[in-house]
Chains A and B, each alone.
Chain A
Amino acid sequence: MIPGRNRARLGWIDAAVLTAALAAVAYVVYRVDSVLEYRWDWSVIPHFLYRWDDEAQRWIPNLLMRGFFTTIRLALLSLIPAALFGAVFGVMRTAGRLLPRLLSRTYVELIRNIPPLVFIFIFYFFISSQIMPLLGVEDLVRGASPARLRSLELVFGPASLIPNVISGVICLAMFQGAYMTEIVRAGIQSIPGTQTEAGLSIGLSRWQLWRRVILPQAIRRVIPPLAGQFITLVKDSSILSLISIQELSFLAMETAVSTTRVFEVWITVAGLYFCLCYFLSLAFDRLEKRAAMART
């Protein structure tokens, strides 16, 4: 084959597939338009993104954008504990001793073999009835000085929703952590045992071996799959709507019900999720390429 020939060019098969796909889309649009007799009305959507506030005399985010921001907050906030769970349990899964392996294996298997939705229903009950009082989140928010409240709101969103957001973060981190555990385990196990032997031979302690030899190599290898898992985390945050965490999907449901513009609202929400996730995957691609370039 001539080099360069098989670059981005469209053959006749590609053209046929594309035509078929376009035809299918056109058909669906036609059906929706004529057969369902759905009357499109996008005019309500902008209002639910941003609305003019007469009191404050400025534009403020309405339900959909508030949900969007909460979703971003949830994702960013749960990323840290999820990565922490992943790192700790991932290292434990590769331990020589039985107990740590047993504990982390139990955690991973328990979560991976229960549908996230079911897990969240059960776990949320436990969080809201046990953990939240234990953390004293409500009292903390109620007793906070105005300055501290402002910084809390910056991180967690509107004060009234802080306990709500924290519950969501804990749920999301718990079950995403299980998937990250498996990624970290795979990364650690991909480092050959000969590296351990070489490290021990120059007299490194077990801890130094981890810190200086195994983890730096393992982390480099797991960054691409971890980035992918983070995007999954963003999307999966939508199931938190079912335990009344006021994120994008939850508020979309409310908006759809109150406006009865079901398609318009959900298509808008799909677009918002898509933009967020696509932006993240582009950003990670970039990071990965830069890391690859730094290595050579």
Chain B
Amino acid sequence: MTSRATLIQIEGVSKWFGDFQVLRNVNLQVAERERIVICGPSGSGKSTLIRCINRLEEHQEGRIVFAGRELGPDATDLAQVRREIGMVFQEFNLFPHLTVLENCMLGPTRVLGMTAAEARDRALEFLNRVRIPEQAGKHPGQLSGGQQQRAAIARSLCMQPRVMLFDEPTSALDPVMIKEVLDVMNDLAESGMTMIVVTHEMGFARTVADRVAFMDEGSIVECLPPKQFFSNPSDERTKLFLSQILSH
């Protein structure tokens, strides 16, 4: 792991919502091509942490450095950083007034300045990769949840980001659809994409992750390779969480 360049560096990051501290002195380094799964009980700050990485949330203390650029209030740099960071949301958040194809083309044409033809080719390529090329002409409302989430993944991939953030991508789906989405995420991991995934899917963590981070009350309790994490966690809170989540 040390041979790879660091892509994201999170140092001593804290954040408050009013009086409530959501993040407490979080430290995390993500290397290129690394796959990290973040788990933990709800309200532990997992989503807030990854939302800080593309600055949908602003942290108040500490530093977040993406590819050598520190995220701060400097807005011009921000759009540049965001186009290099893909984000997949729990609720998909596709643009309902556009077709799936147009959803995928919007970023490449408007942000990357591609022609419509180039953007269309790229969009179709990624819709193929997420296995819904036949849905290209439909509107998001006509798709199943699993299809929508895969369309959302394709929309992010069309920007050819350097890292993909997933914020509980399967939590709004039923089991069959969860599998469709996890299959796509597996493919993506095999292709060498850097990924940070907030999820409760421990099977995915076990097979795909390089490291699993456990968060509780706003801090990363431990961050270990999956083998160690599942068989020999050191912290009591991790043990308790695992016993709860793995028992069913």
A194 to B87, Cβ gap below 8 A? no
Partner of B79, one of A203, A213, A217, A295: A203
Partner of B82, one of A202, A212, A220: A202
Which of B91-99, B175-183, B223-231 is the contact stretch? B91-99
B169 interface residue per 8 A CB criterion? no
**Which residue on chain A has the smallest CB distance to residue B57?**
A197
Partner of B86, one of A194, A200, A201: A201
Cα separation A137 to B40 with both chains bound (whole Å): 71
Partner of B106, one of A212, A217, A295: A212
For B, the interface residue count at a CB cutoff of 8 angstroms equals 25
B95 to A198, Cβ gap below 8 A? yes
Binary contact readout A195-237 vs B (1 if CB under 8 angstroms, 0 otherwise) = 1011111111100100011001100100000000000000000
Residues of B within 8 A of A205 (CB): 79
Residues of A within 8 A of B93 (CB): 194-195, 197-198
B97 to A202, Cβ gap below 8 A? no
Given A197-B93, A208-B110, 6 other A-B residues pairs in contact with their CB atoms under 8 A: A195-B93, A201-B54, A201-B82, A202-B155, A203-B111, A204-B106
Partner of B107, one of A204, A216, A217, A220: A204
A203-B83, A203-B159 as given contacts; A198 in contact with B107, CB under 8 Å: no
Chain A interface residues toward B at CB < 8 A: 194-195, 197-205, 208, 212-213, 216-217, 220, 295
A195 to B111, Cβ gap below 8 A? no
B82 to A203, Cβ gap below 8 A? yes
B28 interface residue per 8 A CB criterion? no
Cα separation A201 to B110 with both chains bound (whole Å): 13
B123 interface residue per 8 A CB criterion? no
Cα separation A197 to B106 with both chains bound (whole Å): 15
- A contacts with B: majority SS: helix
A208-B110, A212-B106 as given contacts; A201 in contact with B94, CB under 8 Å: no
Cα separation A212 to B97 with both chains bound (whole Å): 10
Binary contact readout B39-67 vs A (1 if CB under 8 angstroms, 0 otherwise) = 00000000000000010100000000000
Cα separation A243 to B44 with both chains bound (whole Å): 65
Minimum CB–CB distance from B122 to chain A (whole Å) comes to 13
A195-B95, A216-B97 as given contacts; A200 in contact with B156, CB under 8 Å: no
A204 to B111, Cβ gap below 8 A? yes
A217 to B97, Cβ gap below 8 A? yes
**Listed A/B pairs (12) with beta-carbon separation below 8 Å:** A194-B89, A194-B93, A198-B93, A199-B95, A201-B87, A203-B83, A203-B111, A204-B107, A205-B79, A208-B110, A212-B95, A217-B96
Cα separation A202 to B123 with both chains bound (whole Å): 14
**Which residue on chain B has the smallest CB distance to residue A209?**
B110
Residues of B within 8 A of A216 (CB): 97
A198 to B79, Cβ gap below 8 A? no
Cα separation A171 to B93 with both chains bound (whole Å): 42
Minimum CB–CB distance from B5 to chain A (whole Å) comes to 22
